[in-house]
Structure 1
Amino acid sequence: MHLKKLSAVNFKNHSEVNLEFSPEINVFIGNNGQGKTNLLDAIYFLSFCKSFLNPIDKQSIKIDEKFFLINGSFSKEDKSIDISVSVQQGQKKKVKKNKKEYERLAEHIGQFPTVIISPYDTNLIIEGSDTRRKFIDSIISQYDRMYLDTLIRYNKVLQQRNALLKQFQELRIFENESIEVWNAQLVSLGDVIYQKRNAFLNDFIPVFQKYFNLVADEAEVISISYESHLTEGNFEAQLEEYKRKDTALGYTSRGIHKDDLVFLIHGHPVKKFGSQGQQKSFLIALKLAQFELISELLKMKPILLLDDIFDKLDHNRVERLMTLVSDHAFGQVFVTDTDEDRVEKVFQKIDIERIVFKVGGDQVVKI
């Protein structure tokens, strides 16, 4: 599976682009602020129906314009498949496959898997649990449609329960029968999500540890701890125990929506005790493990997006990553960088077809 063509109109700082790609390596060269990362984001949009940079779709519309349109032509199993994403002010987002609009965007997730390694990955370490839950959910959702459907349903039930709790709080009342209706649904859905997250991490952690040892400067004892209220006991019993407290708070305080991943090095949180280099190795290993697991489960290699990594990583880590590229461990790869000479030096030892594009002045030109 690979992306053959990309076109975009009014997407972020790009008025119009029309590009054809190599099935192997594609490089976007240009100064900062010229829109290299935005091109990766357009590719990401075709896979996930959303930006990896901005959760608000309309903010991806070029300034002073009223819409954006992204089209991509994929080659998959010797078939050509066209995907389009359009966002217009005042209208809902439309995603089409071969000109037929999806009724539910969830139907699209996992069909064109993509993994991105970017400077924004540091958010996985420094930000709150919500970021890490989204990371694990995005991986599982690409190969398990049932999981995504269950997660969507859980969040809807959670929203309804929270609205009821807020009403109880404001009116200073409590109706046990009303809350139990939502409790039963939350427990049923939450148990499924917990089991699937737990099973995924059992498979994911050994692969992650393998890649950490590959990209790190030296061997370290690293692990990932899965923290969930459901490991503490029966979910239904917890909801019952905390129902009065939840009413006082006005929201649901127990459940899988509070799950977190704790990244550990030598038994201590990498956020506090890991060096900058160790944190970088940790993040790269997370993404490479994501790539391998999705590849195995979907029986196809995801598209790999490498955003500005040559500037952010030291030479040794870049060299190890490029060794994997040279061994054809990956399929189609997209790279952004500010330095054409540096990119040439990185790839000069790798005998793989590549296309280089110059990005600047609202133009993207093949060089």
Structure 2
Amino acid sequence: MRIEKLLLRQFKNYREADFEFSSRLNCLLGENGSGKTNLMDAIYFLALTKSAFHSQDPFCIAHDAEYFMLDGTFAEEDRRTAVKCVVHRTQRKAIWADGKLCDKFSEHIGRFPVVLVEPADTDLIREGSEVRRKFFDGVMSQINSGYLVDLLAYNRYLSQRNALLKMAVSSGGYDDAVLGMYDEAMIDLCERLSRQRATFIGQFETVFQKHYHYLSEGREAVAISYETGLLENDFPTRFKLQHQADLQAQRTTLGLHRDDYGFTFDGVPVKKFGSQGQLKSFVLAMRLTQFELMEQLKGVKPILLLDDVFDKLDEKRVKRLLSLVENGFFGQVFISDARPDRSRQILDGLACEKRFIEVKPAS
């Protein structure tokens, strides 16, 4: 998969800008604040219908504008698809592919696979379970549209059930039958989605161990585990018996949204005992695994976005990453850097097609 060209209008700090890209390596050069990360986020948004960095779409609109537009061309071998996205402050987001309006964003997500490596990736280890669930759900959603549809349904039921619990507390009573209807729907989705999560983590861990050993020269034994109580036989009964606890908490206290993932090396938690180098190797190996599994299961290499890697990774890891770029492990790659001389020195020696793109602040 590759993106050949992209027009941005009123997207973050871009008034209007037009770019054409190399099919292999693109290095985005410019001072801090010039818009390198924003350009990567525009590619991410056009592919996945959302920003990698903002939870609300209007945050991506230029501060004094009413809308933004992204217009690009994705290509896989000789097949090209024109994709356009428009977000207004007061209207529903709209996505078109080859002129056809997308009715369900879930049908668009995964058509143009993208993997983003960015400085905040170590939050996958440092932060709470929600960040880890978001990562794995994002990977699985690009690979399996059915998983995404079920996950969206679960989140919708969860929001409605939580609203019902809060309303019951404020009104002094609740309808047990209505709550039971939500129970049945959510239990079914919990069991189905947790089985898929467990299967996927088995696949993910095998590939992950290979990449971690490559990056760290095999110094530690690493593992990723799926931590859930949803696969136990008594889960449906436990869920239904939680009504009083849920009412007291005013939220659903059991379910898919309580799952977590454990990261260890040599049997101890990476979060507690890992060095900075081990954390960086761990999360980079996770991204490489995401890339490889998406290629295996979708049959196409995702677009790879490497944001600020030269500053955030040490020389050893940069060399190992770039060797994968050079030997064709990746397809189209974007790298951002605020130091043009350094980038040219590092990348000029790579035996692959490349383009250096100057990104300048909006005037």
Report the CA distance between 1:8 and its aligned residue: 0.3
Alignment partner, residue 177 of structure 2: 177
1:106 counterpart = 2:106: yes
Matched AA of 1:219: R
Deviation track 1:64-85 (CA, whole Å, cap 9, x = no partner) reads: 1111101111112412210011
Alignment partner, residue 50 of structure 1: 50
Alignment partner, residue 243 of structure 1: 243
Q: Does the CA-based 8 Å contact 2:212-2:218 persist in structure 1?
A: no
Deviation track 1:270-289 (CA, whole Å, cap 9, x = no partner) reads: 11110000000001000000
Alignment partner, residue 355 of structure 1: 355
Alignment partner, residue 28 of structure 1: 28
Alignment partner, residue 130 of structure 2: 130
Where 1:140 maps in the other structure, the secondary structure is helix
Q: TM-score, normalised by structure 2?
A: 0.97
Counterpart CA distance in 2 for 1:16 and 1:79 is 27
1:210 counterpart = 2:203: no
Alignment partner, residue 297 of structure 2: 297
Report the CA distance between 1:234 and its aligned residue: 2.8
1:187 counterpart = 2:192: no
Alignment partner, residue 270 of structure 1: 270
Alignment partner, residue 230 of structure 2: 230
Deviation track 1:129-159 (CA, whole Å, cap 9, x = no partner) reads: 1111111111111121111111111111112
Structure 1: 5+ residue runs without aligned partners? none
Q: Which stretch of structure 1 is more off in the superposition, 123-132 or 49-58? A: 123-132
Q: Which stretch of structure 1 is more off in the superposition, 232-241 or 289-298? A: 232-241
Counterpart CA distance in 1 for 2:79 and 2:337 is 32
Report the CA distance between 1:42 and its aligned residue: 0.4
Where 1:281 maps in the other structure, the secondary structure is helix
Q: Does the CA-based 8 Å contact 2:58-2:87 persist in structure 1?
A: yes
Matched AA of 1:102: C
Q: Which stretch of structure 1 is more off in the superposition, 333-342 or 277-286? A: 333-342
Matched AA of 1:100: K
Report the CA distance between 1:362 and its aligned residue: 2.2
Where 1:18 maps in the other structure, the secondary structure is strand
Q: CA RMSD in A?
A: 1.3
Alignment partner, residue 326 of structure 1: 326
Counterpart CA distance in 2 for 1:308 and 1:275 is 20
Q: Does the CA-based 8 Å contact 2:47-2:109 persist in structure 1?
A: yes
Matched AA of 1:183: D
Alignment partner, residue 144 of structure 1: 144
Q: Does the CA-based 8 Å contact 1:227-1:259 persist in structure 2?
A: yes
Where 1:360 maps in the other structure, the secondary structure is coil
Counterpart CA distance in 1 for 2:153 and 2:30 is 43
Deviation track 1:302-355 (CA, whole Å, cap 9, x = no partner) reads: 000000001111000000001111110000000100112221222233110101
Deviation track 1:85-132 (CA, whole Å, cap 9, x = no partner) reads: 111121111111012111111110110000011102122122221111
Report the CA distance between 1:229 and its aligned residue: 2.4
1:65 counterpart = 2:65: yes
Q: Which stretch of structure 1 is more off in the superposition, 153-162 or 307-316? A: 153-162
Alignment partner, residue 317 of structure 2: 317
Q: Which stretch of structure 1 is more off in the superposition, 309-318 or 354-363? A: 354-363
Counterpart CA distance in 2 for 1:232 and 1:267 is 24
Report the CA distance between 1:232 and its aligned residue: 4.6
Deviation track 1:16-63 (CA, whole Å, cap 9, x = no partner) reads: 111111100001011111111000000001111110011111111112
Counterpart CA distance in 2 for 1:174 and 1:103 is 36
Q: Does the CA-based 8 Å contact 1:235-1:255 persist in structure 2?
A: no
Q: Which stretch of structure 1 is more off in the superposition, 56-65 or 307-316? A: 56-65
Counterpart CA distance in 2 for 1:114 and 1:158 is 28
Counterpart CA distance in 2 for 1:155 and 1:312 is 34
Counterpart CA distance in 1 for 2:234 and 2:119 is 39
Where 2:331 maps in the other structure, the secondary structure is coil
Counterpart CA distance in 1 for 2:167 and 2:37 is 44
Counterpart CA distance in 2 for 1:254 and 1:202 is 23
Q: Does the CA-based 8 Å contact 1:117-1:307 persist in structure 2?
A: yes
Counterpart CA distance in 2 for 1:350 and 1:170 is 64
Deviation track 1:187-243 (CA, whole Å, cap 9, x = no partner) reads: 111111100000000000011111011111552121112111214543211112211
Counterpart CA distance in 1 for 2:232 and 2:216 is 34
Alignment partner, residue 76 of structure 1: 76
Alignment partner, residue 338 of structure 2: 338
**Could you tell me the percent identity over the aligned residues?**
40
Counterpart CA distance in 2 for 1:164 and 1:38 is 39
Counterpart CA distance in 2 for 1:228 and 1:78 is 44
Alignment partner, residue 198 of structure 2: 198
Q: TM-score, normalised by structure 1?
A: 0.96
Q: Which stretch of structure 1 is more off in the superposition, 57-66 or 192-201? A: 57-66
Structure 2: 5+ residue runs without aligned partners? none
Q: Does the CA-based 8 Å contact 2:83-2:95 persist in structure 1?
A: yes
Where 1:91 maps in the other structure, the secondary structure is coil
